Amino acid sequence: MLAQMDIDRGARLTGTATASGQAPTPAGGTTPARTVSEGSSSGVVTVAQTPELSVVKSAAPATVSRVGESVSYSFVVANTGNVTMSDIRVVDELAGSALNVTCPTRSLAPGGTLTCTAAAYAVTQADVDRGRIASAARASGQAPTPTGGAVPARTVSEGSSSGVVTVTQTRGLSVVRSAAPVTASRAGDRVSYSFVVTNTGNVTMSDVRVVDELVAPAGPALNVTCPTQSLAPGATLTCTAAGPYVVKQADVDRGRVESRAVASGQGPTPAGGTAPERTVSEGSSSGTVTIAHTPGLSVVKSATSATVSRAGERVSYSYVVTNTGNVTMSAIRVVDDMAGLDATCQAVDQPLAPNGTLTCTAGPYVVTQADID
């Protein structure tokens, strides 16, 4: 019966065969000795050696979500050949540097298995950005030296791509807007804006942009410039608006400059996947500029005749009204307590902007004797 040690030696099974037989006894003679043939060494059996290994990698846990998490790997090596293997090793090139894999030092019989283990692997940001941790593991071992032959080369298994770890990707951005100064008083005041964008997800973001649109009163979007650098999870970058915003009269009338800022960025493409849509933050209404209202009017009254001499003369009056405040005024009226005067204002339905004027008229007023007296 063929033993494992015979296969491991790669031996040739040989032996010498002889035949013997009994010749007949001659008449009146004695029985002759048995007749024996010469030995035959034909019919040699050669033992074929087929060294072979396989390896299956496993990871725990199979899913991670953040940098620094630990992943433990184990490698089950099977002897799928017909010779005993020794000096079993496993190499796994992960993230550019081989894991430190330790295997038992015992030999591995055909059909047998052994388990190798690696030190815990720490998840990197590059792993999270790829969305997976994958690498090929290969097992190798030393086959026995055939009797009278040379030491064979190490047997290397095919690569095993099992044990893939999935990384849960979460994309997120937030933006906080700041204004300087935070108060204004009149049209023409200038306000500078800055925007701090934070990566609230777990993947690196690139091509970060900020859009800031005035919402009340409506106006064009500010021209916001952001650094071109990528943004790591938890990191921030500051974007600025090109040039100060010039306060409009509509802002003053409303009492505030209000807008809505939104940040967006591009997340990485997962390994073997498609590029994701741009990540957009929630809108930020921080950095509102308040404007205190200071309404004010002045009126200058003029008469067509500076002097009169008798009762019955007629005098007409005009009133120049000036908006001395910082807000637009409407429904302008002039009341003169002189009896019989009823002032009429031009374009009374039109608003009066700060520093604007309108003219009202009244009369004519008929001079009375009481005025003369």
Q: What is the mean pLDDT of residues 213-220?
A: 71
CATH of the domain at 87: 2.60.40.10
Higher pLDDT, 198 or 314: 198
d(CA 169, CA 67): 11
d(CA 367, CA 313): 5
Would residue 32 count as lying in a domain? no
Count the domains in the chain.
3
Query: Which of 154, 87, 86, 93 shows the shortest CA–CA distance to 118?
Result: 93
- What pLDDT shows up at residue 327? 96
Q: Are residues 136 and 224 in the same domain?
A: no
CATH of the domain at 198: 2.60.40
Would residue 253 count as lying in a domain? yes
**Residue-number span of the structural domain to which 120 is assigned:** 53-167
Would residue 191 count as lying in a domain? yes
| pLDDT-based confidence at residue 258 (cuts at 50, 70, 90) | confident
Q: Are residues 144 and 181 in the same domain?
A: no
Q: Are residues 301 and 366 in the same domain?
A: yes
Most confident of 14-23, 234-243, 361-370: 234-243
d(CA 93, CA 75): 13
Would residue 107 count as lying in a domain? yes
Q: Are residues 367 and 305 in the same domain?
A: yes
Would residue 11 count as lying in a domain? no
Q: Are residues 83 and 126 in the same domain?
A: yes
Would residue 250 count as lying in a domain? yes
d(CA 218, CA 216): 5
pTM, full prediction: 0.74
- What pLDDT shows up at residue 160? 80
Q: Are residues 262 and 200 in the same domain?
A: yes
> pLDDT per residue over 110-122, tens digit each?
999 999 999 899 9
pLDDT of 221 over the 90 cut: no
